[in-house]
């Protein structure tokens, strides 16, 4: 029997059970997530990664939850799903919250979220965050109703990989890669407006589609592995850090993506933005990437700096919500 994490009463007075997901739940989960993004012309990623989630669950640092409606045993008709992952000794991440359309409006999201909060607290986390596209109004309202508060907002920027990419400012703003100084990047970060706007958060270096606090050790690890790019020499004027590369199917073809935990430059330094984004394009080409994704702070200056550098930019920002677990 899968582990049970609690019994709750939904808004109709019926008992629902939050329990650990199992491989046998796959068909039910795939069925009620099949049309999640139908109105946006996309497909949900949950069926693609479901078995990986279950295989990695350890019940201590990561757990996938499902809800059975009106039953204390696994049911073929599930009500909701979510996964919780710890990213650091004090940070947890919630991802993939989906409610079966047949059971919306009955409080299942609140039940599974309460179980998520309890799990994250038991793991030592003081904050639980999630990521929601700004256009997803239903999920934003649901997050507020279930105990999350507004966190940060950011924008995705997509420089095109190009081994010969240059910027007019390259001569004035050198970018160091193999010999990048992580302490210089850390000093810049701690005093930057970018850090303030992002509350110290960047893409996590291990968990995909998650954000966590940037640390000096993470920058040093990135430098040691040749993944850190630092713009400027006396003074430092910005940096970026490649967090990972991965493959993704698109229109029947496999694309390689290079993802950058953050692209940070001085508030009023568009030359540094040009140089840094050109360096990202070169770095992505060097690792064989077809596409890139760079997190930058949401704000007119950063977005227009990226536009001036002729990088593709997401049309809308992405929001991070957070729950205080203390």
CA distance 230 to 262: 12
CA distance 322 to 154: 14
CA distance 167 to 302: 17
CA distance 263 to 275: 11
Of 205, 208, 304, 319, nearest in space to 262 by CA: 205
Phi, psi of 256 (to 5 degrees): -100, 130
Are 318 and 296 in contact by the 8 Å Cβ rule? The answer is no
From start to end of the chain, where are the E strands?
A: 4-9, 15-20, 62-69, 78-88, 91-99, 127-133, 149-158, 175-176, 201-203, 211-213, 228-231, 238-250, 253-265, 291-297, 312-313, 318-324
Residue pLDDT tens, the chain, 326 long: 789 999 988 888 888 999 999 999 999 999 999 877 666 666 788 999 999 999 999 999 999 999 999 755 544 479 999 999 999 999 999 999 999 999 999 999 999 999 999 999 999 999 999 999 999 999 999 999 999 999 999 999 999 999 999 987 556 789 999 899 999 999 999 999 999 999 999 999 999 899 999 999 999 999 999 999 999 988 999 999 999 999 987 777 899 999 999 999 987 788 999 999 999 999 999 999 999 999 999 999 999 999 999 999 999 999 999 999 99
Q: Which pairing describes strands 91-99 and 127-133: parallel, antiparallel, or unpaired?
A: parallel
Phi, psi of 76 (to 5 degrees): -70, -25
Q: Would you tell me the crossing angle of helices 182-190 and 216-224 to the nearest 10 degrees? A: 150
What is the number of other CB atoms lying within 10 angstroms of the CB of residue 20?
A: 18
pTM: 0.93
Q: What's residue 268's pLDDT?
A: 74
DSSP secondary structure code for residue 83 in this structure: E
Query: Which residues, in sequence order, are bridge partners of residue 319?
Result: 132, 153
CA distance 64 to 18: 10
Q: What's residue 305's pLDDT?
A: 93
Are 153 and 319 in contact by the 8 Å Cβ rule? The answer is yes
Establish how many alpha carbons lie within 13 A of residue 190's alpha carbon, considering only the half-sphere containing its beta carbon. 9
């Amino acid at each position: 029997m899968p582990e049970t994490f609690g019994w709750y009463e939904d808004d109709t007075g019926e008992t629902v059970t939050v329990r650990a997901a199992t491989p046998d739940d796959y068909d039910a989960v795939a069925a009620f997530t099949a049309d999640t993004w139908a109105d946006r012309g996309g497909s949900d990623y949950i069926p693609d990664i479901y078995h990986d989630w279950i295989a990695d669950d350890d019940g201590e640092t990561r757990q996938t939850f499902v809800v059975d409606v009106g039953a204390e045993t696994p049911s073929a008709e599930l009500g909701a799903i979510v996964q919780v992952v710890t990213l650091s000794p004090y940070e947890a991440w919630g991802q993939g919250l989906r409610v079966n359309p047949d059971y919306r409006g009955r409080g299942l999201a609140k039940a599974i979220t309460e179980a998520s909060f309890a799990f994250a607290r038991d793991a030592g986390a003081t904050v639980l965050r999630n990521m929601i596209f700004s256009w997803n109004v239903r999920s934003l309202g649901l997050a507020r109703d279930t105990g999350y508060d507004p966190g940060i907002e950011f924008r995705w920027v997509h420089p095109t990989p190009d081994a010969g990419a240059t910027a007019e400012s390259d001569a004035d703003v050198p970018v160091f890669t193999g010999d990048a100084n992580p302490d210089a990047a850390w000093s810049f970060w701690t005093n930057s407006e970018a850090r303030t706007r992002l509350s110290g958060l960047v893409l996590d270096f291990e968990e995909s589609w998650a954000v966590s606090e940037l640390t000096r050790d993470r920058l040093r690890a990135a430098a040691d592995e040749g993944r850190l790019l630092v713009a400027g020499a006396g003074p430092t004027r910005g940096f970026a850090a490649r967090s990972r590369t991965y493959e993704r199917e698109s229109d029947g073809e496999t694309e390689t993506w290079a993802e950058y935990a953050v692209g940070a430059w001085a508030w009023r330094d568009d030359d540094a933005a040009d140089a840094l984004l050109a360096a990202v394009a070169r770095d992505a080409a060097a690792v064989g990437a077809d596409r890139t994704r760079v997190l930058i702070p949401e704000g007119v200056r950063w977005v227009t700096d990226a536009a001036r550098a002729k990088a593709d930019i997401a049309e809308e920002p992405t929001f991070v919500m957070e729950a205080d677990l203390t």
